[in-house]
C-alpha cells in the first residue's frame, strides 16, 4: 500500500485523490530543494546552459505533472505554459499551478513556494479557468522554508499542514487557522515609491510617519520578494502586503498573475478572516479574464486593506497633501 501523503480527514472524498497528489508532488519538491537542486538537469530534460533557477522550476513542474497524472484532473494550467494541458478526459477538476513561486530567491535560501487554485472542470480549458474567482472550489500554497507547510482552503476556513520529514506525510497542524489582527507591519517594494499612484504613496507616507502621523502608530516595513513567504508571514502574524500597479511600462495592471497567484492567495486570506483587493475592489469578486492576466494585489488584516481602499476614495487634495494635513484620518 502506498504511504499516505497527507492527512485527509478534513477533505471531501471527491477531493482526496487530488490533494494526495499535490502533497506527493510537494514532498518530492521539498526534498529537491533541500538538496539544492543537485542532479536534476537530466531528469528535467534541460540542456547544460539552463541556470539553476530554470532547472529547479522545470523540475518542480515535472514533479507535479507526474504526481497529478491519475488524480481526477482534466485540465492543468501552469504559469509558464501558454495553454493548459489536458490530463484525463473524464477528470472533474481544473488546476492552475505556479510550481515554484519566488525561485529567483533559491540561491539566498529565502523561503519559496508553490501556489494552486482548483476549479470545477468544464468541457474546454478556457471555460474552466476564465470565470469569477469566487467559483474556485479550493486554493492554497506550499511553503518550502525552515519547515514545509501546506495551507489550503475549500471555502470553509483554512487548514494548515506540516510536512513530517520522517514519513513524507503532511500532518494536520490547525484545522481552522485564523489570522491575527495585531501586527503593525507593511510589506511593499519601497524602491518603486516614485512610480506608485498617489493613494498608495499617501497610505505608505502615513505608515512611515509613525506616532506623529494620522495613524498614531509606529509601523515596521518588511519585503521578502517571495509571495508565498509574504502570505505565510501575514497569515501567522497579520499586517498588510501591497503590490500596486505603477507607472512603469508593463506594470500598469500590476505584475502578479490573477489566476496562478492572486486568486488562491485571496481565498486563503479571506477564509482566515482578512481581506484581499486590487487596492479598491475585492480580488474574489473579479472575473479571471485571461490565463496570464495580471492585477494589483493588496492583502492582509481586514481593517488595513479596507483603509487602503478608502485612500483611493479621497479627493485629490487629500492624497497630495503632507501626512500632517490629511484631514480625513486625523483624530
Asked which of 127, 153, 174 is the last residue of a domain, the reply is: 174
234 — pLDDT class (breaks 50, 70, 90): very high
Q: Are residues 153 and 216 in the same domain?
A: no
The whole-number pLDDT of residue 39 equals 56
315 — pLDDT class (breaks 50, 70, 90): confident
Between CA 233 and CA 179 the distance in angstroms is 10
41 occurs within a structural domain: yes
Q: Are residues 53 and 102 in the same domain?
A: yes
Task: Quick: pLDDT tens for 133-142.
Answer: 999 999 999 9
146 occurs within a structural domain: yes
Task: Quick: pLDDT tens for 265-279.
Answer: 999 999 999 999 999
Q: Are residues 194 and 157 in the same domain?
A: no
Query: Quick check: 255 pLDDT over 50?
Result: yes
238 occurs within a structural domain: yes
Asked which of 174, 196, 217 is the last residue of a domain, the reply is: 174
Domain of 225?
A: 185-329
3 occurs within a structural domain: no
Locate 201 and state its grid cell. Answer: 504613496
The whole-number pLDDT of residue 196 equals 97
The whole-number pLDDT of residue 327 equals 47
Q: Are residues 169 and 65 in the same domain?
A: yes
The whole-number pLDDT of residue 326 equals 54
The whole-number pLDDT of residue 32 equals 92
The whole-number pLDDT of residue 321 equals 59
7 occurs within a structural domain: no
8 occurs within a structural domain: no
78 occurs within a structural domain: yes
Q: How many residues does the chain have?
A: 331
The whole-number pLDDT of residue 44 equals 45
Q: Are residues 67 and 132 in the same domain?
A: yes
Between CA 60 and CA 47 the distance in angstroms is 16
Task: Quick: pLDDT tens for 13-32.
Answer: 999 999 999 999 999 999 99
CATH number of the domain at 47, please. 3.30.540.10
Residues with Cβ within 8 Å of 77's Cβ and at least 6 positions away in sequence, in order, are 83, 84, 85, 94, 95, 96, 97, 125, 129, 259, 260, 291
Q: Are residues 234 and 276 in the same domain?
A: yes
Task: Quick: pLDDT tens for 1-10.
Answer: 467 799 999 9
63 occurs within a structural domain: yes
Instruction: Region of 166 please: left (phi>0), alpha (psi -120 to 50) or beta.
Output: alpha
Query: Quick check: 43 pLDDT over 90?
Result: no
> Residues 231, 268: contact at Cβ < 8 Å?
yes
Asked which of 123, 145, 174 is the last residue of a domain, the reply is: 174
DSSP 171-227: EEEESS----S---EEE--GGGGGGS-HHHHHHHHHHHTGGGSTT-S--EEE--S-H
The mean pLDDT of the chain is 91
Q: Are residues 170 and 192 in the same domain?
A: no
| Through-space distance between the first and last CA atoms of the chain, rounded to whole angstroms | 64
Q: Which of 123, 28, 29, 114 is nearest to 74 (CA)?
A: 123
Strand pairing report for 185-187 and 220-222: parallel
Q: How many domains does the chain have?
A: 2
CATH number of the domain at 199, please. 3.40.190.80
> Which positions make up the binding site for Mg(2+)?
79, 98, 100-101, 261
Query: Quick check: 262 pLDDT over 60?
Result: yes
Q: Are residues 28 and 159 in the same domain?
A: yes
> Which positions make up the binding site?
79, 98, 100-104, 261
**Predicted TM-score (pTM) of this structure:** 0.93
Query: Quick check: 247 pLDDT over 80?
Result: yes
The whole-number pLDDT of residue 146 equals 92
Q: Are residues 294 and 319 in the same domain?
A: yes
105 — pLDDT class (breaks 50, 70, 90): confident
Q: Are residues 159 and 252 in the same domain?
A: no
125 or 328, which is more confident:
125
Q: Are residues 193 and 119 in the same domain?
A: no
> Which positions make up the binding site for substrate?
101-104
Q: Which of 33, 168, 202 is nearest to 113 (CA)?
A: 33
Q: Are residues 142 and 228 in the same domain?
A: no
Between CA 207 and CA 188 the distance in angstroms is 12
Between CA 174 and CA 186 the distance in angstroms is 25
Between CA 65 and CA 146 the distance in angstroms is 25
Amino acid at each position: 500500500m502506498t504511504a499516505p501523503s497527507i492527512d485527509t480527514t478534513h477533505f471531501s472524498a471527491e477531493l482526496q485523490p487530488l490533494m494526495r497528489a499535490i502533497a506527493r508532488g510537494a514532498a518530492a519538491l521539498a526534498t529537491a530543494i533541500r538538496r539544492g537542486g543537485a542532479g536534476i538537469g537530466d531528469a528535467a530534460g534541460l540542456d547544460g546552459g539552463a541556470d539553476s533557477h530554470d532547472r529547479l522550476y522545470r523540475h518542480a513542474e515535472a514533479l507535479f505533472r507526474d504526481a497529478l497524472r491519475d488524480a481526477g484532473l482534466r485540465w492543468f494550467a501552469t504559469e509558464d505554459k501558454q495553454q493548459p494541458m489536458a490530463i484525463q478526459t473524464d477528470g472533474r477538476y481544473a488546476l492552475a499551478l505556479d510550481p515554484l513561486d519566488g525561485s529567483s530567491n533559491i540561491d539566498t535560501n529565502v523561503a519559496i513556494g508553490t501556489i494552486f487554485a482548483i476549479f470545477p472542470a468544464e468541457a474546454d480549458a478556457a471555460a474552466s479557468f476564465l470565470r469569477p474567482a469566487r467559483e474556485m472550489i479550493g486554493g492554497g500554497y506550499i511553503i518550502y522554508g525552515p519547515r514545509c507547510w501546506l495551507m489550503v482552503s475549500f471555502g470553509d476556513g483554512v487548514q494548515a499542514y506540516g510536512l513530517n520529514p520522517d514519513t513524507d506525510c503532511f500532518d494536520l497542524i490547525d484545522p481552522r487557522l485564523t489570522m491575527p489582527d495585531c501586527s503593525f507591519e507593511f510589506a511593499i517594494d519601497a524602491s518603486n515609491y516614485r512610480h506608485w499612484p498617489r493613494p498608495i504613496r499617501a497610505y505608505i507616507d502615513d505608515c512611515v510617519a509613525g506616532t506623529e502621523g494620522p495613524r498614531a502608530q509606529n509601523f515596521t516595513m518588511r519585503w521578502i520578494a517571495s509571495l508565498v513567504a509574504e502570505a505565510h508571514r501575514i497569515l501567522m502574524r497579520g499586517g498588510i502586503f501591497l503590490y500596486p500597479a505603477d507607472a512603469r511600462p508593463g506594470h500598469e495592471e500590476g505584475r502578479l498573475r490573477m489566476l496562478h497567484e492572486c486568486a488562491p492567495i485571496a481565498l486563503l486570506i479571506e477564509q482566515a478572516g482578512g481581506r484581499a483587493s486590487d487596492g479598491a475592489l475585492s480580488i474574489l469578486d473579479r472575473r479571471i479574464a485571461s490565463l496570464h492576466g495580471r492585477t494589483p494585489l493588496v492583502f492582509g488584516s481586514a481593517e488595513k486593506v479596507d483603509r487602503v481602499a478608502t485612500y483611493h476614495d479621497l479627493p485629490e487634495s487629500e492624497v497630495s497633501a503632507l501626512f500632517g494635513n490629511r484631514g480625513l484620518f486625523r483624530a
